[in-house]
Amino acid sequence: QQQVKQSPQSLIVQKGGISIINCAYENTAFDYFPWYQQFPGKGPALLIAIRPDVSEKKEGRFTISFNKSAKQFSLHIMDSQPGDSATYFCAASPGSNYQLIWGAGTKLIIKP
Amino acid sequence: ETGVTQTPRHLVMGMTNKKSLKCEQHLGHNAMYWYKQSAKKPLELMFVYNFKEQTENNSVPSRFSPECPNSSHLFLHLHTLQPEDSALYLCASSQDWGAGELFFGEGSRLTVL
């Protein structure tokens, strides 16, 4: 019940296309859902996060879609660029003072 | 220096060696973390320190020993490791324990021979 399942494990998208990464959870107490981006040789960095009171959050080309009833959330990268090539991690937690539960990561490659 | 810095970036050690990983954060945060990152697996939280006090120890083997002398520095002492301990060890900090954004260092790549 504490797992966050992330798919796909790897993804190749053409430049200009839409990249979609999905995550599913079971614990209905989760109420904070961040996405982290990790470039090779670097640590993960927060990209965007959402709480379940909204169904969508957009920051530039990056959008989180949240489906509370399905217990799923996804990251959409519009107009994907080669510079977006990285590993993306979703995570979830039941709020403050609880550790993040992480997905296994998606390696995204954007082909020029 | 800014952000979270980790040293060394790469470490190769034998199973009988003793070594230490160092982390320093320049963000004025109160919480610091050690994570283990293995390929195709979720990040594994190992230890959490909040205001220099250890608040989490996720059943980590005793061959890993953390030390937090102050809110800016965190160490991970390593001894008699196993080859399966080879991984990227990430240090992170946040304003307070559980409070939002984690700031990660670049990691220490550990290889145990």
Give the count of Cβ contacts less than 8 A between chain A and B. 49
- The residues, any chain, with a CB within 8 Å of residue B24's CB and separated by 6 or more, are B1, B4, B5, B6, B72, B73, B74
User: Is there a contact between A13 and A108 (Cβ–Cβ < 8 Å)?
Assistant: yes
Contact A9 B4 (CB under 8 A): no
Q: Which residues neighbour B6 within 8 Å (Cβ) at sequence distance 6 or greater?
A: B21, B22, B23, B24, B89, B90, B91, B105, B106, B107, B108
Q: Pull the structure tokens for residue A32.
A: 């904070």
Q: B25-49: per-residue pLDDT in tens? A: 999 999 999 999 999 899 999 999 9
To the nearest whole Å, the CA of A18 is away from the closest chain B CA by 23
**Which one of B58, B98, B102 has the shortest CB-CB distance to A97?**
B98
Note down pLDDT in tens along chain A; length 112 residues.
Answer: 679 999 999 999 999 999 999 999 999 889 899 999 999 999 999 999 998 889 999 999 999 999 999 999 999 999 999 999 999 999 999 876 678 999 999 999 999 9
Q: What is the mean pLDDT of chain B?
A: 92
- Is the pLDDT reported for residue B83 higher than 70? yes
Contact B33, B91 (CB under 8 A): yes
Q: Which residue has the higher pLDDT, A44 or B54?
A: A44
pLDDT at B99: 65
With CA atoms as reference, the chain A residue closest to B5 would be A43
Percent of chain B scoring above 70 in pLDDT: 98
Considering just the CA atoms, what is the radius of gyration of chain B in Å?
Answer: 13
Q: For residue A102, give the chain B residue with the closest CA.
A: B42
Extract the tokens encoding B100: 């939002």
Interface of B with A in 57-96 (CB under 8 A): 58, 90, 92
Residue B108 in contact with residue B6, Cβ under 8 Å?
A: yes
Q: Do A46 and B101 touch (CB under 8 A)?
A: yes
Can you tell me the mean pLDDT for B64-84?
95
Q: How many residues does chain B have?
A: 113
What are the tokens at A7? Answer: 């798919």
